[in-house]
A and B are shown apart, each in its own frame.
Chain A
Amino acid sequence: MPSRRQLLAGSGITLAGGVASGYAGRWPIPLDGAAKWPMARHDPACTGATNEPGPKSEPEIRWQAEAESNFDRAGPPMLVGDTLIATSDRSVVALDRQTGDRRYKRTGTYRMNPLLAQAEAYRSDVLVTGNQSGFVGLAASGGFSLGELTISHERWQTPAKPSGGWAFTAAGQASAVASDGTIYASVPNTNRLVAIDANSGRVEWTYRVGSEDYRGVNRPVIRDETVYATSTVNQVVALDAATGTRKWQVDIEPLQREDSLQYTVPNAPTVTAEGIVVPTERFVDLRSLDDGSRKWRYVHDGTSAKRSAAVADGTVILTDDEESLYGISLDSGERLWQSEYGPDTAPVVADGVVYLSYYWLPELHAFDATTGEPLWKIEIPNSPTQPIVDDGKLYLGTWEGILALGEQR
């Protein structure tokens, strides 16, 4: 019969062994290197732009991975170091960006564009996504796997429960951004904006836009410790990022039109040093960071209902859901160029090239960001997500797994 001392030692091993294996050794999936594309729209300002080059000429598919899974619903993959992380309808996978080889796969149903946030108390960042119950923080390293059992993968779950049905966010729409260890998110189907600590998952503050009857706050943006957001009640609000207290709030002025439909419902914004870019169904505004007043308005007469703009090199680039892609001067609001492109989607800009994919079309388009000139168009598998770009490559999720594209060799 073991003595108490022996049992005590055994118990100590149970506690310390698990901790030590996680701490003293390396995680099974090391995530070295900087987060290069940590959230759907690239950065907390949601510019959708990077200085890293993508494919300039018509690309080829370099690899296609996890082809048996659908990666079309939960947004584009994230890129940290040499690892791509993406959520499918039933799993989270991490892939080697060079080869597409799987680094880990964890099962779970997640319904929100994932994003990576710094978690300084932990040895790996947190991958934030969402499910029926609220926002979920996962170890970006994947935790430990013992056959089918996984431990230390899910770190926290917030009680920020969405209202309504099963779908957490629609395909391709992000609801959160992260900055300095805090996640700022709109809770889907509610009028709530929340700030969540990336380490602990605690809700730091909640701000309600409009009344409970109005459900629809778009994904916020962050700049200089201020959170900016738009809502379906035609408002733009600025909040102190630390406390959630309101700095200002403005109503979006309607178009001076005779018809009753004013088309002022805003989409998710982008923030720049010059102001907040607020796209709506029929026009795009630039609004002052100081008080929300309007600096300029460009009316495109489209019907864009869901998509945000990209901003790169002083140009606002957006689609109108009719037939055009626009380049608009960030400084003056004047149109710089207009190019033929029908779908309503969020552009991505990388080193002077605009990339566009649309959920309902198996195509990827590229345009020159300076002139709007079409560069190339290729066919890809069905239901593509928005692409992400880094180091000459372009990555995106589809109905048939994850794709990496590069210039033809």
Chain B
Amino acid sequence: MRREPGVGAESPVDHRTKPRHRLLSELRSQPQLFLPFLVAGLVTSLLGWLHRRDPIATVSSRTLADGHISLEYIGFPAGVRGTTLSVESVLGLKLPFLAWGISAYILLLAVHAIAGTVVIARVLGVEPTRRTVGSFFLYVACIDLIYRGFGSIQGFQNMPVVIGLPILVVWIYVSVRLFAVPGLIVTRESVTEAVQESWRLTQGYGWPLFGVILGLGLTNAVFALFSVVGPALSTALVGSVHAVYLGLFVDQFASPD
């Protein structure tokens, strides 16, 4: 069931306006949209704090302070994590540590899936369902595992630039074409349908969406400079902005169910 978008807004929203122009007014009229990702950010920071004290090897994000520029964009609304569990470090763990590592990982993905679903649904004016949250979680888990999987294969780490650069271009292209998937999951409930629809919708919007990805990723990279509060702040701000933008993009361009 779909409601009028922009519920709670003081003034009606012009749907002909581009999503990026509607973004600020949407956030201004519904500041409660920050709340889900604020909670997700606090959970991210708490898990990061715990991982810095447990015996599981984590990968600390290299930051601008290390002279390292990284596009902190993972394909769904999220902030920077500060510390990341790698597949490398998880596979060899003993059972109690393995259980803790996987539980923390699932919790992290779950809070992002719930926050993303709630915010996008609110923007689109639809009711989030358990099925929607499940599909969102599935997508988030797949993307995250692929991301970690690539990061864990040694061959990819030692890749020469001539091979790495084309792979980077392909990665950016795929990221652009799958940009709308999280938003479409909320309306379609099916991951495969959302992927197909996103591939179709993003045709012709490559450069603007690349700009959005660049903006989100680099903003996260700046927040990564602050190891303790960075994850909470970036998740609350960048995650929220990303999710609201996704909702507006889908609202603008997607055809009704």
B56, A199: Cβ atoms closer than 8 Å: yes
The answer to whether A144 has its CB under 8 Å from any CB of chain B is yes
B-contacting residues, A305-337, CB 8 Å = none
Proximity bits, B151-182, A CB within 8 Å = 1, else 0:
01111001000000000000000000000000
Please give 13 more A-B residue pairs, beta carbons under 8 A apart, in addition to A18-B87, A108-B158: A2-B192, A4-B189, A14-B142, A19-B90, A19-B102, A107-B154, A121-B55, A122-B94, A123-B93, A144-B91, A148-B155, A151-B152, A155-B88
Closest chain B residue to A181, Cβ basis: B55
The 4 A-B residue pairs whose C-beta atoms are closest, nearest first, are: A199-B55, A121-B55, A22-B91, A152-B91
B-contacting residues, A254-297, CB 8 Å = none
Inter-chain CA distance A11–B97, complex, in Å, is 22
Inter-chain CA distance A197–B56, complex, in Å, is 10
The answer to whether B1 has its CB under 8 Å from any CB of chain A is no
Residues of chain B within 8 A of A1, CB atoms compared: 190, 192
Closest chain A residue to B52, Cβ basis: A202
Residues of chain B within 8 A of A375, CB atoms compared: none
Task: List 10 contacting pairs A-B, 8 Å CB cutoff, sorted by A.
Answer: A4-B138, A4-B191, A11-B138, A14-B145, A107-B158, A121-B55, A121-B56, A123-B93, A151-B153, A201-B57
Proximity bits, A89-118, B CB within 8 Å = 1, else 0:
000000000000000001110000000000
Which listed residue, B59, B66, B92, touches A122 by the CB 8 Å rule? B92
B57, A199: Cβ atoms closer than 8 Å: yes
Closest chain A residue to B141, Cβ basis: A11
Minimal beta-carbon separation of A268 from chain B (angstroms): 28
Residues of chain B within 8 A of A121, CB atoms compared: 55-56, 93-94, 97
B153, A150: Cβ atoms closer than 8 Å: yes
Residues of B within 8 A of A (CB): 52, 54-60, 66, 87-95, 97-98, 102, 131, 134-135, 138, 141-142, 145, 149, 152-155, 158, 189-192
Residues of chain A within 8 A of B192, CB atoms compared: 1-2, 7
Which listed residue, A2, A11, A148, A155, touches B57 by the CB 8 Å rule? A155
Inter-chain CA distance A11–B137, complex, in Å, is 10
Inter-chain CA distance A148–B89, complex, in Å, is 20
Inter-chain CA distance A107–B89, complex, in Å, is 18
| Count class of interface residues, chain A | 35 or more
B190, A4: Cβ atoms closer than 8 Å: yes
B154, A108: Cβ atoms closer than 8 Å: yes
Inter-chain CA distance A152–B191, complex, in Å, is 29
A8, B134: Cβ atoms closer than 8 Å: yes
Minimal beta-carbon separation of B219 from chain A (angstroms): 24
Majority DSSP secondary structure for residues of B touching A? helix
A159, B142: Cβ atoms closer than 8 Å: no
Which listed residue, B60, B89, B94, touches A155 by the CB 8 Å rule? B89
Closest chain B residue to A124, Cβ basis: B92
B138, A150: Cβ atoms closer than 8 Å: no
Minimal beta-carbon separation of B202 from chain A (angstroms): 21
Residues of chain A within 8 A of B153, CB atoms compared: 149-151
B-contacting residues, A154-201, CB 8 Å = 154-157, 159, 197, 199-201
A153, B88: Cβ atoms closer than 8 Å: yes
Residues of chain A within 8 A of B60, CB atoms compared: 159
The answer to whether A214 has its CB under 8 Å from any CB of chain B is no
Closest chain A residue to B156, Cβ basis: A149
Residues of chain B within 8 A of A154, CB atoms compared: 88, 154
The answer to whether A376 has its CB under 8 Å from any CB of chain B is no
Minimal beta-carbon separation of A306 from chain B (angstroms): 31
The answer to whether A120 has its CB under 8 Å from any CB of chain B is yes
B191, A200: Cβ atoms closer than 8 Å: no
Proximity bits, A121-134, B CB within 8 Å = 1, else 0:
11110000000000
Which listed residue, A7, A14, A157, touches B191 by the CB 8 Å rule? A7
Residues of chain A within 8 A of B138, CB atoms compared: 4, 7-8, 11
A152, B92: Cβ atoms closer than 8 Å: yes
Inter-chain CA distance A4–B200, complex, in Å, is 21
Inter-chain CA distance A153–B154, complex, in Å, is 8
Closest chain B residue to A153, Cβ basis: B154
Minimal beta-carbon separation of B118 from chain A (angstroms): 19
The answer to whether A143 has its CB under 8 Å from any CB of chain B is yes
Residues of chain B within 8 A of A119, CB atoms compared: 55
Residues of chain B within 8 A of A87, CB atoms compared: none
Minimal beta-carbon separation of B29 from chain A (angstroms): 33
Inter-chain CA distance A133–B154, complex, in Å, is 16
The answer to whether A23 has its CB under 8 Å from any CB of chain B is yes
